[in-house]
Amino acid sequence: MEKREELYAGKAKSVFTTDDPDYLVLHFRDDTSAFDGKKKEQLARKGQVNNRFNAFIMEKLKAAGVPTHFERLLNDREALVKKLDMIPVECVVRNISAGSLCRRLGVEEGLTLTPSTFELFLKNDAQGDPMINESLAETFGWATPEQLAQMKTLTYQVNDVLKQLFLDGGMLLVDYKLEFGVFKGEIVLGDEFSPDGCRLWDSETREKMDKDRFRQGLGGVIEAYEEVGRRLGIEFD
Ligand code: C5P
């Protein structure tokens, strides 16, 4: 497998083509952004930490029967993935209230949500990733009802696996965002799973151990990501 040209540069990752049209290289950079790119910083080691973290989580999900695009780690900052036709819809599950849910509904942070909520957002930077629903996704052709149903089932399946995994490491999985795509007709989990795209709290102290440390200027961002990894048994070199 040979890495070829850059296909796309996102806010935290770059994507490269390979000599195989079915595979891409994901390159994890140190760039960190929040508030639709209004707050930006380079956080040393973030690329390596998230690449390792993502590989660990994707392997756990695969072992639990969730189809993912992840193939293998290539080096410190890069992973080989299947090339998906991405569905421009973000799936968010929340176990505890935080973030945009609190702002939108005026509810306090930290409420246990029973049952866990499921929300859809359109992946569209220019519009600030607005919240959407199944009807809008179908009408505008972003995803079919069948695809949405599968995405919902898989997103909740991920919750079952990861809630327990993090709990075993003394952490609460507050919420997370997943993205899916289509590979040879099958719905497959794409993008990444790292503390950039989920909320994790210490289960005793409820200390924040995710990107909210960056968003809220709490400091110790990468140290917290590494601590999450350490609790899961991930080796960072
Ligand atoms: O901002 P909000 O509370 O809706 O975010 C819910 C979860 O989805 C958080 O874990 C956040 O990090 C993640 N998210 C993301 N990328 C987005 C929007 C939300 O990773 N574009």
55, 82, 109 - which closes a domain: 82
198 lines ligand 1 (CB under 6 A): yes
What is the reported pLDDT for 235?
87
- Write out pLDDT tens, residues 17-54: 999 999 999 999 999 999 989 999 999 999 999 999 99
Q: What is the DSSP letter of 108?
A: P
Residues 106 and 47 in one domain: no
Residues 78 and 99 in one domain: no
User: Averaged over 1-28, what is the pLDDT?
Assistant: 97
Domain with 150 in it: 85-220
What is the reported pLDDT for 118?
98
CA of 7 to the centre of ligand 1 (A): 24
Phi, psi of 153 (to 5 degrees): -60, -45
Residues 100 and 174 in one domain: yes
Nearest CA to ligand 1 atom 15: 197
Where do the H-state alpha helices sit in 140-237? 145-168, 212-215, 221-232
- Write out pLDDT tens, residues 147-182: 999 999 999 999 999 999 999 999 999 999 999 999
Name the percent of the chain lying above pLDDT 90. 97
In a domain, 118, yes or no: yes
| CATH number for position 62 | 3.30.200.20
Rounded to whole angstroms, how far apart are CA atoms 194 and 111? 23
176 lines ligand 1 (CB under 6 A): yes
Q: For residue 125, is pLDDT > 80?
A: yes
Rounded to whole angstroms, how far apart are CA atoms 51 and 86? 20
Residues 95 and 177 in one domain: yes
Q: For residue 237, is pLDDT > 80?
A: no
Task: Count the helix, strand and coil residues of the chain and give each as a percent rounded to the nearest 5.
Answer: 30, 35, 30
Q: pTM, whole model, 2 decimals?
A: 0.98
Residues 70 and 99 in one domain: no
Where do the H-state alpha helices sit in the chain? 46-63, 99-105, 134-139, 145-168, 212-215, 221-232
193 lines ligand 1 (CB under 6 A): no
Residues 135 and 35 in one domain: no
Mean pLDDT of the chain: 98
User: Averaged over 99-114, what is the pLDDT?
Assistant: 98
Place of tokens 């505890």: 96
What is the reported pLDDT for 236?
86
Residues 59 and 118 in one domain: no
Rounded to whole angstroms, how far apart are CA atoms 34 and 211? 9
What is the reported pLDDT for 229?
98
Residues 100 and 206 in one domain: yes
175 lines ligand 1 (CB under 6 A): yes
User: Averaged over 123-151, what is the pLDDT?
Assistant: 97
What is the reported pLDDT for 34?
96
Residues 172 and 92 in one domain: yes
Residues 190 and 163 in one domain: yes
Name the percent of the chain lying above pLDDT 70. 100
Q: Number of structural domains, the chain?
A: 2
User: Averaged over 96-115, what is the pLDDT?
Assistant: 98
Residues 140 and 29 in one domain: no
In a domain, 16, yes or no: yes
53 lines ligand 1 (CB under 6 A): no
What is the reported pLDDT for 100?
98
Residues 121 and 142 in one domain: yes
In a domain, 157, yes or no: yes
82, 117, 134 - which closes a domain: 82
